[in-house]
A and B are shown apart, each in its own frame.
Chain A
Amino acid sequence: MGLNIENLLHAVVLLIAVVLILMAVAISSRDNASRMITDYKIQALLLFLLTIFTALELGDAVIGFLALPPLVMLVLIRALLAQATVVTSGITVWQRLKRAFFESIRPNGQPFGWSWKSRPSPRLAATIYPAKDRTIEEATIRWLRATDNRDSTLSVAFSFLALALAYFFAFSLIKNQPDVANNLAVSLSLVLIGLLIMLRKKDIISQIVGLLVMEHGMFLAAIRVLRIPSLSLLFVISLFLYLGITIVMLVYLLPELDRTSGSLMIEQQKILREEYKPEASLQQLLVPENGWPKGE
């Protein structure tokens, strides 16, 4: 057990796994969507690195492709979530995606760092910034205010409970391979903490972050538990599809939810509950005495 490259890589991977869990716990304790997203970004970056390391370790280039989804989410997450409240009058899904990408690398049209142009060309600007729309920054401010989440101490306690549960479960399941058991435990705890986030947060943005944390757990299980090169292409494809679904959900459904209900709080999304009764006056207005249609 000398200090060679394999052992170093192994230690780094273990460290990354620990930080991944810590970030998940941090997300569950945040009461501010902005910080939650920052934590999520750190997690995505770590997962990206972990995937690269795993690809190096196994010598499998296909697993390296799996590093792309976390990277994409790292770049796009804030802009995608902001799509929820951006007024999207009559622009297509493709335009929304393009806009999300451009605004995430150049917020508010201001160049920073590595952008290759200081301003978008007029034609590009016309397609990605249709008139009268809210910008991403404005939209973000709107839903950042909306968060009102529950007691964070309890969340941390629950998270550690989930962590203990995951470790107990994984190590009692896989006895002879502690390395694999550890990886399984980390991914299970990410899934459980993500579920906890989804259950305890009060707004839809935080719920989505919870779902994305669960997705990280799934990624980790696919990369670190199995280690079968022949299956990796399939996992790449399936996880890419999963990511696509998440993006469809964000880009297509969230703005509609916000437009129709005017809010992103979960309390406002309960009109389908049984207790809900429409006002009596409306009901009376609409039921005629005997004016039903005759025949089929």
Chain B
Amino acid sequence: MFELLLVFTILLPLFGAFFSFWFRFGLATAISSSGSLATSIILGISHKIGTPPITMNLSFINVYMDELSLFFILVVNIVALFASFYTLQSRKGTSLREDYSQSKFHLWFNLFHFTMLTVLVMDNLVVLWIAVQLTTVSSALLVRHSGTRSAAEAAWKFLIITTTGVIFAFLGTILLAYAYYATLEDLSKQKPELLDLRWSLLAHPGTINQSNYNILVVSFLLVLIGYGTKAGLAPMHTWLPDGHGEAPAPVSAMLSGVMLKTAFYAILRFFTIAWLNLGEEFILNLLLCSGILSLLIATPLILKQQYKFKRVLAYHSLEHMGIIAFGVGIGSKVAIFGALLHALNHALTKALMFLVYGHIQDSYHEISHTSAGRSAGRSRYEAGNDKHIRGVWKKMPVVGTVLTGGGLALVGAPPFSIFMSEFIILGAAIQKFQDGPPNGPPDLQHWLLVGAIPLYLLTLTLIFGGLVGHISRLLFDSTSAGRSVGREGSEFETSRYDVTSADRLVKVGYARLRFFSFGSLLLLMLISGLTIIRWPLDLPELLNESARIVLEGSQPR
């Protein structure tokens, strides 16, 4: 029963890919995503927390789903649902068939969704590596979808940086396997099941010999570098602004909202193994430092004037990945609870921002598609500058409101959800600092926290200011760009718009779906800012159990 639900959850996007590509039936994406979300919610309700994880074995594919996986599956599916509503684009006439490039987009979008779900349920760490690598391919092909020069460049950069990074993760996996096999004595006499490099076998204290501890440390370091490249942690983040900035809006939402989190999920799995076996603060300090470094690097980049708002959002993702890494690096159960909650909140908020901004871009883009300014408009659009998007509040009141709400949520203003998770992490950090090490003199982490907590507060405040500046420029500033134009501008006023994608959207009625997704995301954020959702899923219990799994591994409670 559970197995069937899990199989449906994972395979539905694959069906979506087939139907949307083969029959050019774009609605299949939305249908399969909602189906996948529905089955995963049913799975979450029916699978009691604390019961043994769901496992399935198909030769080398070992499916293993515990509460941590379930939580991340829910995050992926929620964001994928709203993004898939957004992918419903224009249609020619009344036919439901889409053109070839559009159906290719749907194909890769669904495969991207599918590969991310597979990352979350793979027990074998080598298969996990394959799945992470497959997410890279599908998302790179989505990033280049618009076919412009900048998109090709961004896809190239994304692919080459993450592929290089993932090689290090592979080396880390190999070293972990080496340490594990060095511990098992006389390999030929062991059961074959024990020889697989499975997380559920490794995540116990004492699976790795004391003599191999330095190998384990190096392995975790390599994995942190490797998957950290995909998760967008600090020194390896350089693909983030390009990839997020050039991708179509729903893809940006998926990349920033969930792909970074799935890579971080891989880091969490390795973290559990290293933490349980070493039990040292060193592993925690590593994550803590990388989180603070991400925050420090993100701050000046957000404060700086960027030529594209999506790049600001991308750097903001860097900041939030830093916060999540910082939360895990504190190492207490409350902090990990906060970090996981933050992953959910950030996914929802960032998805909303990318989708709303994509809608605004679509609407403003109509101007450049008038018959008069077509050629010039194309080249402006390719240049990627969006200084022309100003005064949204006046032109588009409803979208302006949503953008304001999303922006406030994103900077961490009180009634919204991100404030809560940031506050939980801060509280946990202070708690950890006050408690100090259980016995003996203050250790390294104590002193690190002395520096880290003020830095955390300082960077959050600075980023608050920077982002509010960017968003208010977007919303209210109608002077700077609008007034400094030459006479050519008047041409656009009189000419009728061509029937463009956004126009057709309104006619067909899919714009309403977009607004539905904006509204429900905003509502979800507001509700989860006031309280942690307990219905239909008991989210606090789920998060508690996930935090326990991160800290204590796979043994039963």
B125 — nearest CB in chain A belongs to which residue?
Answer: A234
- Does A72 touch B at the CB level, under 8 Å? no
Asked if A296 contacts B396 (CB within 8 A), the reply is yes
Tell yes or no: B493 within 8 A of A by CB. Answer: yes
| Residue B350 is within 8 A (CB to CB) of chain A in the complex | no
A-contacting 9-mer, from B11-19, B249-257, B366-374 = B366-374
Instruction: Evaluate contact between A253 and B152: CB separation under 8 angstroms.
Output: yes
Given contacts A249-B159, A260-B148, A278-B385, is CB(A289)–CB(B485) below 8 Å? yes
Which of B77-85, B200-208, B463-471, B476-484 lies at the interface? B476-484
B368 touches A225 (CB 8 A): no
List residues 311-362 of chain B with CB under 8 A from any CB of chain A.
Answer: 359
A277 B160 Cβ-Cβ under 8 A: no
Indicate the size class of the contact surface on chain A: 35 or more
Q: Is the interface on chain B under 10, 10 to 19, 20 to 34, or 35 or more residues?
A: 35 or more
Shortest CB-to-CB span from A270 to chain B, Å, is 8
Shortest CB–CB separation between residue B364 and chain A, in angstroms? 7
| CB neighbors of B among A242-266 (8 A) | 242, 245-246, 248-249, 252-253, 256-257, 260-261
Q: Majority SS of interface residues in chain A?
A: helix
Contacts of B157 in A (CB 8 A): 269, 272
Contact with B along A278-296 (1 / 0, CB 8 A): 1000111111111111111
A233 in the interface (beta carbon within 8 A):
yes
Which residues of B are found within 8 Å of A257, using beta-carbon distances? 152-153, 156
**Contacts between chains A and B (CB distance < 8 A), count:** 201
A267 in contact (CB, < 8 A)? no
Q: Is B45 an interface residue (CB 8 A)?
A: no
With known contacts A191-B167, A283-B387, A286-B380, A245–B136 Cβ distance under 8 A: yes
**Cβ of A144 < 8 Å from any Cβ of B?**
no
A287–B177 CB distance below 8 A: no
Segment at the interface with B among A8-16, A107-115, A215-223:
A215-223
| Nearest A residue (CB) for B308 | A272
Q: Tell me if A125 is interfacial: C-beta within 8 Å of chain B.
A: no
A252 touching B141, Cβ below 8 Å? yes
Measured CA separation A204–B160 after assembly (Å): 10
Which of A173, A228, A231 lies in contact with B214, CB distance below 8 A? A173
Q: Is the CB of A291 within 8 A of B127?
A: no
Beta-carbon nearest neighbor of B511 in chain A: A296
Contact indicator per residue, chain B 107-151, by CB within 8 Å of chain A (1) or not (0): 000000000000000001011011001101100110010011110
Is A230 positioned at the interface, with any CB of B under 8 Å from its CB?
yes
Contacts of B196 in A (CB 8 A): 230-231
Given B124, B149, B485, which contacts A287 in the complex, CB threshold below 8 Å?
Answer: B485
Min distance, Cβ A285 to any Cβ of chain B, angstroms: 5
Cα distance A221–B126 in the bound complex, in angstroms: 14
B133 near A245 with CB under 8 A, answer yes
Assembled-state Cα–Cα distance A284/B376 (Å): 11
A61, CB-defined interface residue at 8 Å:
no
In the complex, B174 has a CB within 8 A of chain A = yes
In contact, A231 and B511 (Cβ under 8 angstroms): no
Residues of A within 8 A of B189 (CB): none
Give B503's nearest chain A residue, CB to CB: A293
Contacts of B376 in A (CB 8 A): 282, 285-286
Residue of B nearest to A235 (CB): B126
Complex interface bits, B494-516 against A, C-beta within 8 A gives 1, otherwise 0:
00010000000000000100010
Give min CB distance, B463 to chain A, whole Å: 18
A261 neighbours in B (Cβ, 8 Å): 149, 152-153
Contacts of B485 in A (CB 8 A): 284, 287-289
Complex CA–CA separation, A234 to B376 (angstroms): 52
A contact residues around B187 at 8 Å (CB): 228
A211 contacts which of B134, B163, B170, B215 (Cβ < 8 Å)?
B163
A293 with B304: CB separation less than 8 A: no
Contact of A293 among B164, B363, B491 (CB under 8 A): B363
Bound-complex Cα distance A245 to B174 (A): 20
User: Is B150 touching A272 in the complex (CB atoms < 8 A)?
Assistant: yes
B154 lies within 8 A of chain A by Cβ: yes
Residues of B within 8 A of A211 (CB): 160, 163-164
Chain A nearest CB, measured from B171 CB (Å): 6
Among B178, B384, B511: residue with most chain A CB under 10 A: B178
Q: Which of B130, B144, B388 contacts A237 (CB 8 A)?
A: B130
Q: Which residues of B contact A79 (CB under 8 A)?
A: none
List residues of chain B with CB within 8 A of the CB of A285: 373, 376, 380, 486, 488
Residues in B whose Cβ lies below 8 Å from that of A228: 177, 181, 187, 195
Query: What residues on B are CB-neighbors of A256 within 8 Å?
Result: 144, 147, 152
Let me know if A42 is at the binding interface, CB within 8 A: no
Q: Compute how far the CA of A293 lies from the CA of B501 in the bound complex, rounded to whole angstroms.
A: 14
Shortest CB-to-CB span from A71 to chain B, Å, is 21
Q: In the complex, A191→B491 CA distance in Å? A: 57
B423 proximal to A (CB < 8 A): no
Chain A CB within 8 A of B399 CB: yes
Inside 8 A of B306's CB, which chain A residues have their CB? 274
State A253–B187 Cα separation when bound (angstroms): 44
Residues of B within 8 A of A241 (CB): 130, 133-134
Q: Is the CB of B141 within 8 A of A238?
A: no
Contact call A253/B144, Cβ cutoff below 8 A? yes
- Are B387 and A207 closer than 8 Å at their CB atoms? no
| Min C-beta distance of A255 to chain B, whole Å | 10
User: Does chain B have a CB within 8 A of A56?
Assistant: no
- Nearest Cβ distance between residue B469 and chain A, in whole angstroms? 17
**B155: nearest chain-A partner, CB-CB:** A253
Q: Are A292 and B395 interface neighbours, CB within 8 A? A: yes
A57-95, CB under 8 A of B: which get 1 and which 0?
000000000000000000000000000000000000000
B126-A234 in contact (CB<8A)? yes
Shortest A265–chain B CB gap in Å is 12
CB of A274 within 8 A of CB of B307, answer yes
Q: Shortest distance in angstroms between B356's beta carbon and chain A's nearest beta carbon? A: 11
Alpha-carbon distance between A119 and B195 when the two chains are bound, in angstroms: 51
B391 contacts A by Cβ under 8 Å: yes
User: Closest Cβ of chain B: how far from A229's Cβ, in Å?
Assistant: 8
Residues of A with C-beta under 8 A to B385? 277-278, 283
Chain A residues within an 8 Å CB radius of B491? 288
A234-B60 in contact (CB<8A)? yes
> Are the C-beta atoms of B367 and A289 separated by less than 8 Å?
no
Provide a sorted-by-A list of 15 A–B residue pairs whose CB atoms are within 8 angstroms: A221-B171, A222-B170, A231-B177, A245-B137, A245-B163, A248-B141, A252-B141, A253-B156, A257-B152, A271-B150, A272-B150, A282-B376, A291-B489, A292-B482, A296-B511
Starting from the known contacts A173-B214, A294-B395, 10 additional A-B residue pairs (CB-CB under 8 Å) come to A188-B171, A226-B181, A242-B133, A245-B136, A256-B152, A272-B150, A289-B485, A291-B367, A293-B364, A293-B396
Closest A-B pairs by Cβ, 7 of them: A288-B489, A260-B149, A278-B383, A291-B493, A288-B492, A230-B195, A291-B492
